[in-house]
Each structure stands twice: as structure tokens, then as C-alpha cells.
Amino acid sequence: MERRDFMKAMACLGLAPLAGTLGSVPASAAETKMWFNTLFHGGDADAMETIVKNIHASNPDLNIDLTQGAWTEYYAQLYNSVVAESAPQIGIVDDFRYESVAEVLYDVQDTPAGNILELMGAKTDDFAQWDISLVGGKALGIPLDQNGFGIYYNKDIFRKAGLDPEKFPQTREEFESACEAIKKIGKLPYHPALSGEPRYIRRAWLALLWSLNEDYIKGDKAAFNTDKGRQSLQYLVDMVQKQGWNRPGTNGTNQFLSGELGMLQNGTWFYLTVEKAKLDYGCSMPPKFFDRQVSWGGYHLIVLPKQPDSDETVAKLQATAKFLKAFLPYYSLWGEMGGAVPLFKAAINDPKLKETQTWKKTLGMFSQAAASGLMQAEPRHPKITDVDLAVEPHVQEAYNGTITVAEALNRAEADVNKVLAGA
């Protein structure tokens, strides 16, 4: 099945088509065509497009069809494309979705073309946190980056509110005082959840839950419906329902880019977007809201979806290894443009990266946070995707003020336990 035919079939099944090709380049005489599908949809998408074009410029035999942006159906498409024998040669997965698609990924050290890592001229020791790639002892991906949430703040708004633009609040009390100062000058103080989509509201709550040293799940049971779970979610809800620091149903990213919002919780990937907006901004880790300072975090891994058994597959895997070898020197550019902490050691130690504006504005802070464990990833569980989806509508309803926090967590607990029990 050709890729275009598969995409039509996905649409017939009710799955959203992939985003338009961003990085396709004209065919050459002795080319190898490959499909690279990512879920990036912000500044990191721009970064990946730049890297792919640069690699093609020095490797014209590698014709990379780069598609990006189809976040909402990405994992369903990835899984179904392997079943349909029309999968991309290269993909990207989040660590918290990794195990749910593990069975359709190659062990990168044991593919029909051999050990891709060796063919790349790389070793496991070349990567920071190699263990994140392992599922059942098999390396089902190559670490790309560590990403997570920080708080971007508008320095002009800080100045007008009488706040120090070079000193971000480090405690809950300082943070609340800053919010009230911003509110007094007629600006919106804070948005905890990027564009306001349910997954971002859930992630904002998870960081507060972890700040109280409470678990999300334990084994095959929900662990969040506790006093600490209610306390953390109530604090998030109160930000909009009681304190009036923002409103439900709003897009914090748009508010921030338009200069109306003082502080926005957003990801490492926001760097290039906010730079283009020409705002005078700073970036910090969230303050210590409760018992410890922590933010939601995760990892991206480069993966190789399984292909039909054929000589063509072997040839494309060999070409993939060539592409990934050419990608290694671009880990630094990935950090510079994409804003996430690169997990290739040569990149994170690259003195040229540390001279960039990205490092000075955001990446240095995020790198330090990653090294000190302030960005926490979700539990690794094969059903974590379904757990998240079970939680999100209830947490969103509490955030919107349509049900109480206690009702939200009671319902979420019941739904999560059904998911984990296989019901």
C-alpha cells in the first residue's frame, strides 16, 4: 500500500490525516525515499524541518518525506500503519506513550539490517539516560531529548506591576503575590495550561500532585484520590475559579503572545515561537508550590516502526542508519531551535550550544533542571495513555467549575481503575 493510499484509508476509518509534507525535497537519480513522521507542531517542528533539509543538502541520495503535526491521532496512525504494512521508516514517540506502541517498533540493536546503533557509529554511552529507551530489556528507540514545562513571564508586565523582571518567584507565597500585583494593573496574571486543552490541564495538575509527593498510579490502581490529590487539584481550580488569575476555556499561549498575560506555563518547545513574537520575556522553573519543586516533564525518542519483510526494507533500514548518523551532529541545533535538552552527550557539552541565545534564555535553565531531577516524567505503564484520557475530562470539568474537585477525582478514580483492570 502506498503512503497516500494508507492515508486515505485512515481518513475512511475516521482518523485525522497527517499534516502536510514539510520537508520533502525533489527526487534525485540514486535516491532512497524514506518517510519520517513526527508529532511536533510548534517551534520544534520548524527545528526538525531545518535539520532534515540540512541533512538532505549533504546527502542528496536521502529523500526524506517529513510529515509533522498530527498529534491527536498520531499514535493510532503509527500503530495502524504498521498493521497496514505502510508505516513510516522513522517516527518519534513520547516516553509516556512508548510502551503502548512497543510491539510495533524494532529493537534498534536488532533489526533485519543489523544493529542500527553500530551502523550509525554510535554507542549507548554516547547518550544521556539511555535506559529510557529500554522496554523489556530491548532498546526500542534512540533518546532524542528531555522536555518539560517551565513558566515564561513577560518582563514588561513585571516592571509595570512593580516586580523585579530578573527575579522570578521561587515560593508559592512569592508567586501568589506576583499574581495579585499583575492583576492590579489590569493584566491576566497566569495561565497554567498552555492552550487550555485537557491534556495540558491534567499535566498542570500532575506537577502539583507530585509537588505534594503523591503518586498518580500504583501498580494497577489509581493513587491520586487522596487528601493530597484533592488539595493539589483544588489549588489549580482556585487559580481560575477563586483567584481570578485567568478564565476557563482560554488559550494562554495566545494571551501571552498578545502581551496580555504575565505568566504562562508552557514547554521547552515554546522557545522559537516566543522568540518570533519579539517579547521581552524570561523563563523559570515553577516555584515550590508545596513540598518540593517539580514540573511535568517527558522524553522524546526516535523510533523505527516495523516494516514488511523484504530486501527493500533492509535497504531502507540501512539508509535510515545513514540518516541517523548524519543527524547526530544536529542534536545541538535541535537544542538550539527546538528548545529541549538534547540527550546526545556531545551536544549537551557543546560549548557552541552554550553560547547560543537559546541556552541563555531557556535551555541552560532547562538543562540544569533536567540534571537536578526537577522535571518529572509520567509513570511507565502500557496503559498510561488510557489512564490519561480517563482522567482528563473530569479534571477539565473541575477546572471549568462544573463539578467539584471531590466529584472529579471520584469519577476519575473509577474510570482509571476500570482501564487498569482491563474493563
All domains of the chain in start order, with CATH: 3-147+298-371 (3.40.190.10), 148-297+375-420 (3.40.190.10)
CA atoms within 13 A on the CB side of 159: 7
Give me the phi and psi of 62, to 5 degrees please: -100, 105
Please state which of the ranges 34-43, 168-177, 295-304 shows the lowest mean pLDDT: 34-43
Please say whether the dihedral angle defined by the alpha carbons of residues 10, 16, 17 and 22, taken in this order, is positive or negative: negative
Q: What angle do CA 222, 372, 351 make, to 5 degrees?
A: 135
pLDDT band for position 18 (cuts 50, 70, 90):
very low
CA atoms within 13 A on the CB side of 180: 8
Cα→Cα distances 145→46, 105, 128, Å: 16, 19, 9
Give the tens place of pLDDT for each residue, 92-126.
999 888 888 999 999 999 999 999 999 999 999 99
Please say whether the dihedral angle defined by the alpha carbons of residues 358, 373, 388 and 189, taken in this order, is positive or negative: negative
Residue 32 has pLDDT above 90, yes or no: no
Which run of H or of E encompasses 347?
helix 345-348
Which run of H or of E encompasses 262?
strand 261-267
How many residues does this entry show for the chain? 423
Residue 11 has pLDDT above 90, yes or no: no
Report the predicted TM-score, pTM, of the whole model to 2 decimal places.
0.88
CA gap 230, 238 in Å, rounded: 12
pLDDT on residue 30: 57
CA gap 3, 15 in Å, rounded: 15
Q: What average pLDDT does this structure show over 183-193?
A: 98
Amino acid letter, 108: V
Contact predicate 49/68, CB 8 Å: yes
DSSP 86: -
Give the tens place of pLDDT for each residue, 411-420.
999 999 999 9
Which of 201, 141, 123 lies closest to 380, judged by CA?
Answer: 141
Q: Which three cell numbers stand for residue 229?
A: 490529590
Cα→Cα distances 260→58, 156, 163, 248, 257, Å: 44, 11, 16, 16, 8
The most distant pair of C-alpha atoms in the chain lies apart, rounded to whole Å, by: 68
Amino acid letter, 227: D
